[in-house]
Amino acid sequence: METAANDGFRATPYQSDDGLTLYARDYGGPEIADRLPVICLPGLTRNARDFHTLALLLSTDPATPRRVVTIDYRGRGQSDWDANKANYNLGIEARDVVSACQHLKIERGIFIGTSRGGLILHLLAHMRPDLIAAVILNDIGPKIEANGLKRIRDYLNAATPPHSWPEAVAFLKACHIRYFPALQEEDWREMAAAIYRDINGKPVADFDPAIATQLLAIDFAQPLPDLWPYFDELAKVPILVVKGEHSDLIADKTVDEMKARCSSLSTLEALGQGHAPLLHLESVFPRTRLFISDVP
């Protein structure tokens, strides 16, 4: 079990509409209740641990500390796996985010959506626009590039389980270092600790394999659906788009179209990073922090 007292957060279980026990981490104390909280939504197979360093930085900021909530979707991290694998979809996961906010008594907040988390935010802008005060879209937009999604599909479905933690770190570096030359050795170790769970001293991928299997059913001969109508609803609040310098999931032309549709949109290029950037790195965090601090 995680020890919140040592790690800077409170482990918070809550119930989904259909009875699953889901999980969130809640960082920060009551003294920062007068500021809007930050709610962090991870990528496709990722979990709340992805945001641990960022959450600590934001919740302990000496000038403008914020409450930070990081979420495990169903089938990821500490949350229950769903027996009905069809429920691993954006609509239900968006409903689960609403349930988390209700349980944590969050009426409005600043949302960070990495990859799939950003897609969920597009739907949330339609379902519950009142929840969203501002948004950081981390390497994601209403249109995703097929080549990037194919790479993620192949990586997730071809990965061989590592036998040790050093092997897990080496595997991640071999797969991703060409996209992430900015990462240092400690960054790779932290990535491994976020992606894998320790079971009897061995790293095990911390998600339901059915989530990765779903990608095999995508017909890439057909155009991928986009979320532009939902983005137009999201565009009513301030948006920061963080784009990895080496990202293959979101195109520059998509970011340009987002700018044209949202007058309050700003952008940040994460140098030396691909999909999806680590927001706590020194090259990215100051702008991320500034965007958040500018929201009341």
Q: pLDDT (tens digit, 9 = 90+) per residue, 83-94? A: 999 999 999 999
Structure-block tokens of residue 131: 């929840």
Indicate whether 3 pLDDT > 90: no
Indicate whether 2 pLDDT > 80: no
Indicate whether 150 pLDDT > 60: yes
Residue 158 — pLDDT band, cuts 50, 70, 90? confident
CB of 141 within 8 A of CB of 250? Answer: yes
In angstroms and rounded to an integer, the radius of gyration of the C-alpha atoms of the chain is: 18
Residue 5 — pLDDT band, cuts 50, 70, 90? very low
What pLDDT, on the 0 to 100 scale, is given for residue 30?
65
Q: Which residues pair with 22 in a beta bridge?
A: 14
Residue 292 — pLDDT band, cuts 50, 70, 90? very high
Quote the percentage of the chain above a pLDDT of 70: 97
What pLDDT, on the 0 to 100 scale, is given for residue 33?
72
Question: What is the average per-residue pLDDT within 42-50?
Answer: 98
Q: The whole model's pTM is what?
A: 0.95
Can you tell me the distance from the alpha carbon of 71 to that of 65, in angstroms, rounded to the nearest whole number?
Answer: 19
What pLDDT, on the 0 to 100 scale, is given for residue 31?
64
* C-alpha dihedral, 161 to 165 to 167 to 169, nearest 10°: 100
Question: What is the average per-residue pLDDT within 229-253?
Answer: 98
Assign residue 58 a region: left if phi > 0, alpha if psi is -120 to 50, beta otherwise? Answer: alpha
Can you tell me the distance from the alpha carbon of 177 to that of 274, in angstroms, rounded to the nearest whole number?
Answer: 9
Q: At what angle do helices 185-195 and 165-176 cross, to 10 degrees?
A: 110
Quote the percentage of the chain above a pLDDT of 90: 93
Can you tell me the distance from the alpha carbon of 285 to that of 68, in angstroms, rounded to the nearest whole number?
Answer: 15
Query: What is the CATH number that goes with domain 4-145+224-293?
Result: 3.40.50.1820
Indicate whether 39 pLDDT > 60: yes
Can you tell me the distance from the alpha carbon of 79 to that of 35, in angstroms, rounded to the nearest whole number?
Answer: 28
Indicate whether 63 pLDDT > 60: yes
Mean pLDDT, all residues of the chain: 95
Question: What is the average per-residue pLDDT within 111-130?
Answer: 98
Domain ranges of the chain: 4-145+224-293
Indicate whether 6 pLDDT > 70: no
Can you tell me the distance from the alpha carbon of 171 to that of 195, in angstroms, rounded to the nearest whole number?
Answer: 12
Residue 32 — pLDDT band, cuts 50, 70, 90? confident
Question: What is the average per-residue pLDDT within 117-136?
Answer: 98
Q: pLDDT digits over 8-21, tens only?
A: 999 999 999 999 99
With vertex at residue 114, the alpha carbon angle to CA 110 and CA 120, rounded to the nearest 5 degrees, is 75
What are the backbone dihedrals phi and psi of residue 258, each rounded to the nearest 5 degrees, phi first?
-60, -40
What pLDDT, on the 0 to 100 scale, is given for residue 1?
30
Tokens 């790779």 locate to 188
CB of 220 within 8 A of CB of 150? Answer: yes
Question: What is the average per-residue pLDDT within 15-38?
Answer: 90
Q: At what angle do helices 90-103 and 116-127 cross, to 10 degrees?
A: 70
Question: What is the average per-residue pLDDT within 68-74?
Answer: 98
Indicate whether 29 pLDDT > 80: no
What pLDDT, on the 0 to 100 scale, is given for residue 34?
85
3-state SS track over the chain: CCCHHHHCEEEEEEECCCCCEEEEEEECCHHHCCCCCEEEECCCCCCHHHHHHHHHHHHCCCCCCCCEEEEECCCECCCCCCCCHHHCCHHHHHHHHHHHHHHCCCCCEEEEEECHHHHHHHHHHHHCHHHEEEEEEECCCCCCCHHHHHHHHHHHHHCCCCCCHHHHHHHHHHHHCCCCCCCCHHHHHHHHHHHEEEECCEEEECECHHHHHHHHHCCCCCCCCCCHHHHHHHCCCCEEEEEECCCCCCCHHHHHHHHHHCCCEEEEEECCCCCCCCCCCCCCHHHHHHHHHCCC
Residue 4 — pLDDT band, cuts 50, 70, 90? very low
Can you tell me the distance from the alpha carbon of 185 to that of 280, in angstroms, rounded to the nearest whole number?
Answer: 15
